[in-house]
Amino acid sequence: AFGRLDILINNAAINRDAMAAKMTEEQWDAVLAVNLKGTFLCAQAALPGMRERAWGRVVNTSSIGALGNIGQANYAASKAGVLGLTRTLALEYARYGVTVNAVAPGPVMTAMLAGVPDAIKEKIVAQVPVGRIASPDEIASVHVFLASDEAAFITGQVLFVDGGASVGI
C-alpha cells in the first residue's frame, strides 16, 4: 500500500531500570524485546527488498548506554547488541548496495529524560564535555546524514553523538 522501503531508521527504545541483582526477568525481557529484538525484526523485514533493489539504508539507534551504566544492565545489553547487529548486517549486505550504521546518542531531551529529577539531570550534564543535553534534532540530523547518498561509503560504523561523553570511557 505504501510502495517500497528504501530507508529504515530503527529508533524504538524503552528502559526498565533496576540494579542487576534486583532486576526481574520481565524487566530484562521487555527491554531486550523492544530495543534489540525489535531492531532485528524490522531489519530482517526490510533487508530482502533493499538487497533486491541493490540499494538501501538501515540506521539503527544504539546509545552511549551500550558502554554500561549503573542500574541499566538490560538497557546496556540491548544497546550493545544493536552495535553487534549493526556491524554484522553491514558485512552481510554491503555487497548488495545496502549500508547499515548506528547512531549512539548520549543524553537527549526526550520523554525518557524529561521525567528525571533536575538534580540527576545536572549530574548527567556534568559528564558531558560540551556541558549540555542534546536536542532530538541534533540526533535526527545524524540519522538523516547516514541515510543519505553522501554516506554511501559508510557502513558498519557507529557514530557517538554524545557531546564528547564517550571519549573518556
Question: Active site residue: 50, 56, 65, 75, which one?
Answer: 75
In a domain, 126, yes or no: yes
Provide the domain count of the chain.
Answer: 1
Tens of pLDDT, residue by residue over 115-129, are 889 999 999 999 999
Report the predicted TM-score, pTM, of the whole model to 2 decimal places. Answer: 0.94
What is residue 58's three-state secondary structure?
strand
Tell how far CA 124 is from the center of its chain: 19
Query: What DSSP state is assigned to residue 22?
Result: G
Return the number of other C-beta atoms located less than 10 Å from residue 109's C-beta.
15
Whole-number Å distance between alpha carbons of 35 and 64: 14
CATH number at residue 156: 3.40.50.720
Q: Could you tell me which residues are beta bridge partners of residue 103?
A: 61, 159
CA–CA separation, 28 and 17 (whole Å): 9
Active site residue 75: yes
Q: What is the largest CA-CA distance in the chain?
A: 51
Query: What are the angstrom distances between the C-alpha of 82 and each of 40, 66, 100, 123, 131?
Result: 8, 9, 11, 26, 27
In a domain, 131, yes or no: yes
In a domain? residue 64: yes
- pLDDT single digits (tens) 62-100: 999 999 999 999 999 999 999 999 999 999 999 999 999
Domain membership of residue 83 (yes or no) is yes
In a domain, 85, yes or no: yes
Domain holding 117, by residue range, is 7-161
| 167 found inside a domain | no
For residue 132, tell me if it sits in a domain. yes
- Residue 1: inside a domain: no
Across the chain, mean pLDDT equals 96
